[in-house]
């Protein structure tokens, strides 16, 4: 992460893939817990899937949600930092 990206407050930085993945994972966990509680206990497996996906992403660097976000036009924080430093 560049110095330009870290010195700005989070609300002033452009929305990056890294922030998008964290937000998406948080939403999915909260949604799966709500579905488990109010709809069916089997939705707990969605929580397990999200957690396992985050775990494997930490080691491999591959995240399917990041691929989708990339195609939607989001950029990595490193790319945003390079653009801001010019």
Tokens of 32: 């799966």
Host domain of residue 29: 17-85
DSSP string for 7-28: HS-GGGSPPPHHHHHHHHHHHH
| 6 found inside a domain | no
How far apart are alpha carbons 52 and 75 in whole angstroms?
24
How far apart are alpha carbons 15 and 75 in whole angstroms?
8
Confidence of residue 67 (pLDDT cuts 50, 70, 90): very high
Domain count, the chain: 1
| 10 found inside a domain | no
Confidence of residue 14 (pLDDT cuts 50, 70, 90): confident
| 73 found inside a domain | yes
| The model's pTM | 0.77
**pLDDT at position 85, please?**
57
């Amino acid at each position: 992460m560049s110095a330009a990206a870290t010195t700005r407050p989070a609300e002033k930085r452009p929305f990056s893939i890294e922030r998008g993945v964290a937000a998406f994972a948080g939403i999915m966990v909260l949604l799966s817990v709500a579905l488990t509680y109010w709809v069916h206990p089997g939705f707990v497996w969605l929580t397990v899937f999200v957690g396992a996906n985050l775990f494997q992403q930490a080691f491999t660097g591959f995240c399917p949600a990041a691929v989708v976000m990339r195609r939607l036009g989001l950029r990595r924080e490193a790319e945003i930092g390079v653009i801001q430093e010019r």
